[in-house]
Amino acid sequence: MTRQSFLTLLLIFITFHLSLFTYHFSLVFAQVPSPALKQTKTILLLNGTAHLGNGNVIENSAIAFSNGKITLAADATLIRIDKNAFDTIINVAGKHIYPGFIAPNSTLGLTEIDAVRATRDYEEVGDINPNIRSIIAYNTDSKVTSTVRSNGILMAQITPRGGLISGTSSIVELDAWNWEDAAYKPDDGMHLNWPRSNNYNWWGEDQGEVKKNEQYNEQLTAINLLFKEAKGYTASNPAERNLRLDAMKGLFDGKLTLYIHVNDASGIMQAVNFSKDAGVIRMVIAGGADSWRVTGFLKENNIPVIVKRLHSLPQNTDDDIDISYKLPAMLYKAGIKFCLENSGDMEAMGTRNLPFYAGTAIAYGLPKEEAVKAITSSTADILGIGNTVGAIEVGKEATIIVSSGDALDMRTNNIELAYIRGKQIDLDNHQKALYRKFRDKYNR
């Protein structure tokens, strides 16, 4: 080897390793904020307008929490406050306090870049996968999560997609080192995608046409057969374990909720009747675009609804153009328990819009504090965690946000403080970092 060849190879070697160093350094610099430390000091939020999440508002509030639990939620003008009893007192006069927002039916943490298949981990091969657990695929280092958290969403139901039975979801806190730490309620429910009798063609030469689902009866038969087998398996308690059927046991004793994803009115009624006949203890409708057509039926059967993304087109050609916006108010007037979600295109990154869906619902007839409930306590109740989170009440966990303006209004929403079980959360993210970078560049 000549001297020149050796020097060339050496230069390539050095350049390559320098590039690796630069790459890894940039990765470290770009990491999401580290999880917060456990609360050690007693905190008092004083003089803010507290939206308690249970329908009540305290205009001049005193909210205190210690060891991750709320110890005081009162009107500051009606009590005597011993300021020596608190390690930290934060004056939030003129600001708004809410329970942390909760995003149900979400792929947050299961996908990073929707256009890149390798970053999507929310769907398994096959149509019937009751034993698939979404929680083990949850990525706590997702950059998307920190952008969502900055808008007040502090908890989420991590939900699988695809097939007839997608698998089980889990409820997580959006501040953790790994999925084990994040898991708040593992395997809270199973998700069934109810078959459509007709399919709408969105793409290709047949765009706009509605065609009959030729596999409809076959799909219904498969679902019915599976649930019969699962119920028999649960009753017999066989020695040989069947992973699919074993995963469904909780549906028949109330430990698991059955979330049936369906939008059309006839499908909603079929799904509810099916769950009753199958012996399922707890079920929820997810989507429910046509739920306003069957409110009497839902009320009679005490079925809650996770309402599909409000900023959506109507389900049917003869629907009012603003039917999606009006749906929460219609369900509220009918006495149906409901909450709001954001499933659909680019749903993980769009989860940040959850509070603004609640704001849209207010503009179309839903009382303001009911809108707050639709992304806090009602969500917690439907997901089965309402006894510990979802409202600012003594004894519940201190998962709380503070906004300098109305958090449901995109013009004034500005989350300044966030706590998950009393831990103060870092609200920075890579988008804010980029903003600061280029702001500084052009302000020089």
Q: Which residues lie closer than 8 Å to 393 by C-beta, 6 or more apart?
A: 52, 54, 70, 73
What are the tokens at 422?
A: 């009393």
* Beta strand extents in 112-241 (DSSP E only): 153-158, 165-173, 183-193, 198-200, 210-212
Domain 101-387 top-level CATH class: alpha beta
Query: Between 323-333 and 354-363, two packed helices, what is the crossing angle to 10 degrees?
Result: 80
CA-based torsion, 270, 272, 273, 276: positive or negative: positive
Tell me the pTM: 0.90
Q: What are the boundaries of each domain within the chain? A: 30-100+390-444, 101-387
Report H helices in 237-336: 243-246, 265-278, 295-301, 323-333
State how far the Cα of 334 lies from the Cα of 370, in Å rounded to an integer: 13
**30-100+390-444 CATH pick, 2.30.40.10, 3.40.50.920, 3.40.50.720, 3.90.1150.10:** 2.30.40.10
The whole-angstrom separation of Cα 420 and Cα 437 is: 29
348 close to 110: Cβ distance less than 8 angstroms: yes
d(CA 408, CA 357): 8
Q: What is the DSSP string of 212-223?
A: E-TTHHHHHHHH
Largest CA distance in the chain: 89
Residue 83, C-beta contacts closer than 8 angstroms, at least 6 positions apart: 44, 89
Task: Kindly give the confidence (pLDDT) of every residue in the chain, 444 residues in length, as a single tens digit, with 9 standing for 90 and above.
Answer: 565 665 566 555 555 554 444 444 444 445 678 899 999 999 999 999 999 999 999 999 999 999 999 999 999 999 999 989 999 999 999 999 999 999 999 999 999 988 888 888 999 999 999 999 999 999 999 999 999 999 999 999 999 999 999 999 999 999 999 999 999 999 999 999 999 887 766 666 666 677 788 888 999 999 999 999 999 999 997 878 899 999 999 999 999 999 999 999 999 999 999 999 999 999 999 999 999 999 999 999 999 999 999 999 998 888 999 999 999 999 999 999 999 999 988 999 999 999 999 999 999 999 999 999 999 999 999 999 999 999 999 999 999 999 999 999 999 999 999 999 999 999 999 988 999 999 998 887
What residue type is assigned to position 409 of the chain? D
Fold match between 30-100+390-444 and 101-387?
no
CA pair distance 13, 17, nearest whole angstrom: 6
CA 81-84-87 angle, to 5 degrees, is 110
